[in-house]
């Protein structure tokens, strides 16, 4: 029995090199250094919500159905409860704005939607000490959808079918988000940034 000698070149060809992308390393290092001077966690969470909302709302490109599935209400309320009203308003505006830019679709009702998300942030700021996060989220989603029903009926003149379909899909989607994920997100916020 003899030991077969394998050339080193064949071993190198078999395995890929571990390479680190210097852009990501530099960006991580930059965020780490800047985190000593400012709180970067709200910025990172806001960016995450913007990307996730834009991707979620890209469904409108492929499915022509009266569905209103969005993360703007959810993110505005969570950011308000954890980081304050200004971050909640920023989430309300920027998550919708990111979706508008990503989908290259702007309509007049988007302005009214943004106002509704800002209203959700204000409601969260008012109700956060009174009710738990799940209750705050569900109440705010219902109140915002009542505002949207009024706007849809008297300003944008949607049909009753569209108003009911958009409103119910949004309320149910937000109920699922708040019951299933709001406490988990707040726990994550507290885990990575306990002092805020």
Report the pLDDT value the prediction gives residue 18, as an integer from 0 to 100: 67
Percent of the chain with pLDDT over 90: 63
The pTM score is: 0.83
Could you give the C-alpha distances from 112 to 23, 151, 157, 161, in angstroms and in order? Answer: 39, 7, 13, 19
CA–CA separation, 192 vs 117, rounded Å? 25
Among 51, 70, 75, 77, residue whose Cα is nearest residue 109: 70
Among 140, 133, 45, residue whose Cα is nearest residue 81: 133
Report the pLDDT value the prediction gives residue 14, as an integer from 0 to 100: 73
Residues 58-94 have pLDDT tens digits of: 887 788 888 889 999 999 999 999 999 999 999 999 9
What residue spans of the chain are helical by DSSP H?
Answer: 8-14, 22-34, 41-57, 59-62, 72-83, 85-103, 108-127, 133-154, 160-192
Residue 13 lies in a domain: no
Percent of the chain with pLDDT over 70: 96
Residue 12 lies in a domain: no
Residue 182 lies in a domain: yes
Q: Residue 172 is part of a domain; what is its CATH number?
A: 1.10.1760
Instruction: Indicate if the alpha-carbon torsion angle 111, 112, 114, 115 is positive or negative.
Output: positive
Report the pLDDT value the prediction gives residue 196, as an integer from 0 to 100: 64
Domain count, the chain: 1
Residues 120-141 have pLDDT tens digits of: 999 999 999 999 999 999 999 9
Residue 55 lies in a domain: yes
Residues 129-173 have pLDDT tens digits of: 999 999 999 999 999 999 999 999 999 988 999 999 999 999 999
Range of the structural domain that residue 139 is part of: 39-192
Question: pLDDT confidence of 186, banded at 50, 70, 90?
Answer: very high
Residue 122 three-state SS: helix
CA–CA separation, 73 vs 46, rounded Å? 13
């Amino acid at each position: 029995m003899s030991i077969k000698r394998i050339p080193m070149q064949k071993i190198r060809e078999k395995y890929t090199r571990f390479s680190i992308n210097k852009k990501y390393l530099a960006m991580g290092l930059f965020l780490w250094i800047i985190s000593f001077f400012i709180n970067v966690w709200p910025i990172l969470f806001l960016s995450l919500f913007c990307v996730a909302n834009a991707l979620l709302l890209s469904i409108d490109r492929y499915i022509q159905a009266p569905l209103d599935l969005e993360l703007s209400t959810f993110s505005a309320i969570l950011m308000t409860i954890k980081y304050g009203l200004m971050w909640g308003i920023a989430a309300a505006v920027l998550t919708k704005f990111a979706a508008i830019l990503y989908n290259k679709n702007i309509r007049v009702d988007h302005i009214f939607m943004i106002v509704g998300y800002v209203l959700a942030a204000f409601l969260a700021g008012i109700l956060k000490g009174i009710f738990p996060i799940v209750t705050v989220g569900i109440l705010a989603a219902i109140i915002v959808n009542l505002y949207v029903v009024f706007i849809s009926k008297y300003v944008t003149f949607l049909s009753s079918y569209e108003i009911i379909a958009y409103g119910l899909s949004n309320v149910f989607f937000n109920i699922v988000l708040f019951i299933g994920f709001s406490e988990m997100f707040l726990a994550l916020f507290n885990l990575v940034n306990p002092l805020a």
